[in-house]
Each structure stands twice: as structure tokens, then as C-alpha cells.
Structure 1
């Protein structure tokens, strides 16, 4: 029996970078979490401890900070693309680079009702995400870019049903035609291009996801996820695939009748675990290649 080294990669995870743009008295802020991963001819490092082809993870960290100057006007997708291309084009042992970015949003503090030029309050909403994978050099170079979001907590108080499900001897769940539906959404969308108005696409996709969650009369969270992904693909031909992961944040009607109090779907117990986890991808039937095997990280985070 032969024992061989399988797929491998390495990098510097979770570099916390804050970039302040001071070009005018009204400053701007970018607060990001950047992770790098490189693939290439690194087998000798594993097999015999030969580090001659290994760019230290500390060097990757320093590069991420150096390239952060480009975050002055760039989107996180543009920043990730420049960083990935640098590793592949300028570091000979590197065959492929993957950059994952989380973007933490801030809003300007209000002072006497006016937005302050250099003070912010951290937004408590979703985190914007992006990943960039660059593989190969020259004319053979291929690039895959994803945008996304996580921790988009959203709830609607009606317009959701769940009934007609399969039942076995252990089923105790009561069918319902009117329930609270809530989730903390993770969404990832894969682009077909390396050039787009990234910020505008993000805002548009987010708006569509929220809209579909609100307006689709849902017979199941699965149905809602499909309609969300379908709407995004119909609106943006630069997107090939949407992947959605939605924990079902259950809200159970609380038993007040025992106290002689009527509860007409007004008071609920919010149960954080265990929870149903609904995941789906919505794709075009002619979608281009999803990329290298290690892109599986984009599956269902």
C-alpha cells in the first residue's frame, strides 16, 4: 500500500485590517478580515521539511496590509483580486491563490443631528463577504470571484406556512398555516466576470434577497430560498450561481392558555437550538465551470 500526500494549501487566516482614508476632512473607513491561502509546489515542505518554495505566512500578512492602501477607493472584490494576482504572478512557486474577505460595516455617528466627519458607530447588520481565486499565469490564468453576505438576521411575522409534511411514529410537530419565519442568512453568489460594479451588485442582490423573503408567501423555507436565488439570477446575468444557507430560527407560540390568557400568534418562545438548517444552490443550466476542487469551501459555510 502506497501512502501519498493529498491536496494541500497554506496561508494566513484572519488578518484584521482597518483602512482610514484621510484624503479630505471627511474621512472614510474600511474594516476587513482577510484570509489568504496558497497552492503550488509545496510537497517538499510536507515530505522532507524543505521550505525553499514556501512564502512565509507572515509575508502573506504583510502583503495584505501593504495592499490595503488600495482599499481607499476599491471594493473588497477589487482588493482581493489585486492581492491574489500578486501572489500568483509575482511568487514563482505559487500556482493558485485564494483570498477570503469579510467587510464590517460602520455608519457615521450623529452629532447634534449631523453626520460626523471622522466618528463612526459599528452597524449591527450583516457582514459582507467576498472570495477571489486566481490560478495559473499568462493566457492560461483563470479567476473565480464570489460575493456574499452572512449574519443577515431577518424575520417575518406572517406569510409562512408549514404543513403536508411526511409523518412517522416520532412526528409530534403540529402543521401550521400561519407561523413566524426567521433566519440568519448566509448567501454566496459566483460571478461570471472579473469586471463588475461590485458595490452596486452587492446592494442590489441584498435588496432582492430581503424583498423575496418578505413578499413570497412561503409554504416552506426551502421554497423561499429557491425564489430568492431565482430572482438574483434573473436580475444579474453576471452571476452564475447563488448558494444559500438558512438556519430556521424557530419561534414557537407560547402556551398562555394555562393562565387563562388568549394567545392568537402574539407571544412566542424564540428557540435558538436545535434548529433546522436549510441549504440550497440555484444555478443557470449553462453556468460556467465552478473552478478548482478547493473551491468547495464556497459550498455551504
Structure 2
């Protein structure tokens, strides 16, 4: 019997990092979770235990902390590009690097009607994400950025239908033309370039997703995802594609007739499982090839 080590990468997952800017009376905060993964000719570490080419994952963690001070932590896409370029350009055995980042948002506390300079409240539950891949040198250099948001919880109390579906001997679901639609969206979008205003595009993409969810008279969550995705692509020409995953957070009308009450879509049972899971990938015609952009590490971004 013979075997081949077909693929490998290694790194440090989930380095929690909080950067406070204290150079003015009004402080600023960035709160992130960073995962690094290095790619290269590390076969000997797997096959014989030879660590001579292996940069310890602890060193990768320390690099993230040091770079947050030395280079600053603005947009997570820029921070990820800075880290990935360092590992590829400055660590000799490394030919590729993937950086996955989650960002946790905070809003300023309001005290006596004014924003406080150094106190915040955690916002959410949505989490901004970015996954950056840098590989190769010179003309072979490839850089990919995937932005995203997860745990984007949305609900609308009307404007959603589900009818005309295929039925078989096991179908019990009634048709409806007025239902609650709720979901927790995971959206990831690939940029066709790294010359991007990351903060502005994130705002425009998320606004387009929410607007389309809210305003579309939905005949199915599948249709809603298509319209959300195309709206994001329309809003940001720099996008090559978007991938959406949305669980259908079912809200079932409670039968109140045993208690002598009517229930005209006002009282619901919010079921947590099982749930429908709807997924879609929408690619702009003529978009550049994704290469290794979607090759994940921890899969957190």
C-alpha cells in the first residue's frame, strides 16, 4: 500500500485581538478574531516530523498582535492583506497564506445625552467577516479578498408567501399568502480587485441585502436570496460573486380556537429546528476566476 499527502496547511486559529486607539481623549476600538493558515512545502513536517521549515503557530499569533500595533487595525480586509503579504514575502518557506477575520462591533455608550469617549456597548448579533488569500510572487502573485457578514438576523411580519409547491403523499404543509419570514443570513462576497474602499462597500452591500429582504413581495426564500444577491452585485461593481446561506426560521401560527380566540396571524410559535436551509451562489458574468479564494482554513470567514 502507498499513500500521498495530497494537501495541507497549518496555522493559528481564533487569535482574539482588541486594539484600542488612545491617542486622543475620544478613544476608538476594533475587536477581531484572527485565524492564520500558511501554505507551502511543509511535507516533511507531516511525513517525518521535521520542523525546520515550520514557523510556529505561536509566532503567527504574535505577528497578529504586533502588526495591530505597528501597522494599525483599520478595515479587517486591509489588516488581512498586510498579514498575508508578510507571511508570503518575508517567511521563506511560505508560498501562500490565508487570513480569516471576524469583527465584533461596538457602539458608544450615551451618557447624559452625549456619546461617551471610552465606553461602548456590544452590538450585533451580526458579525462582519473577511477572508484574504495571498499566494505566489511576481507575475504569479494572486490576491483574493472575500468580505462577508454572518448572523444577520432578519424578520418581516408580512410580505411573504409560500404556495403552489409540489405535493406528495407526505405533504401536510398548508399554502399561505401571508406569513412571517425570518432568517439568519450568512453572506460572503468575492471582490474582483483589492483596490477597494472596504468600509464603504461593506455599508452598501449590507444595506442592499436588508433593503431587498424588506421590500420584495417574496414568493419563496429562494427568490428572496436571488434578489438580495443581485441587489448587492448591482450596488458594488467591484464584486465578482456572492454566496448566501439562509435558514428559514419558521414561525407557525398558534391555534387558539380551543380557548375561544381567533388568531389572525398575531401569535406564533417560533421553531428553532428543524428548518429549511436555502443556499445560492450568484456570479457576475465575466467575473475573474476564483482560483483558491474559497479554500478555507477554520471556515469562520
Q: CA deviation at 1:70?
A: 5.5
Could you say if the C-alpha distance between residues 299 and 179 of structure 1 is closer, same or farther in structure 2, counting changes exceeding 3 Å? farther
Task: Show the counterpart of 1:100.
Answer: 100
Task: Show the counterpart of 1:179.
Answer: 179
Task: Show the counterpart of 2:291.
Answer: 291
Task: Show the counterpart of 2:275.
Answer: 275
Q: In 2, are the aligned partners of 1:19 and 1:71 still within 8 Å (CA)?
A: no
Q: Give the distance between the partners of 1:300 and 1:65, measured in 2 at CA.
A: 19
Task: Show the counterpart of 2:118.
Answer: 118
What is the 5 A alignment of 1:123-202? 123-202=123-202
Could you say if the C-alpha distance between residues 157 and 45 of structure 1 is closer, same or farther in structure 2, counting changes exceeding 3 Å? same
Deviation per CA, 1:53-83: give whole Å up to 9, x if none: 1110000000011111267462110000000
Q: Give the distance between the partners of 1:57 and 1:243, measured in 2 at CA.
A: 30
Could you say if the C-alpha distance between residues 124 and 74 of structure 1 is closer, same or farther in structure 2, counting changes exceeding 3 Å? closer
Task: Show the counterpart of 1:19.
Answer: 19
Q: CA deviation at 1:170?
A: 1.0
Could you say if the C-alpha distance between residues 24 and 190 of structure 1 is closer, same or farther in structure 2, counting changes exceeding 3 Å? same
Q: In 2, are the aligned partners of 1:279 and 1:300 still within 8 Å (CA)?
A: no
Query: Bigger CA drift: 98-107 or 120-129?
Result: 120-129
* 1:30 and 2:33 matched: no
Q: CA deviation at 1:151?
A: 0.5
Deviation per CA, 1:143-202: give whole Å up to 9, x if none: 000110001111000010011111111111111111000001100000011111100000
Q: In 2, are the aligned partners of 1:21 and 1:72 still within 8 Å (CA)?
A: no
Could you say if the C-alpha distance between residues 124 and 296 of structure 1 is closer, same or farther in structure 2, counting changes exceeding 3 Å? closer
* SS of residue matched to 1:98: strand
What do you get for the CA RMSD once the two structures are aligned? 1.7
Q: Give the distance between the partners of 1:69 and 1:286, measured in 2 at CA.
A: 40
* 1:208 and 2:193 matched: no
Q: Give the distance between the partners of 1:205 and 1:293, measured in 2 at CA.
A: 19
* SS of residue matched to 1:241: strand
Q: In 1, are the aligned partners of 2:30 and 2:73 still within 8 Å (CA)?
A: no
Could you say if the C-alpha distance between residues 11 and 63 of structure 1 is closer, same or farther in structure 2, counting changes exceeding 3 Å? same
Structure 2 runs not aligned, ≥5 long:
none
Higher relative contact order (CA 8 A, sep 6+): 2
* SS of residue matched to 2:97: strand
Structure 1 runs not aligned, ≥5 long:
none
**Alignment: residue pair count:** 301
Q: In 1, are the aligned partners of 2:132 and 2:293 still within 8 Å (CA)?
A: no
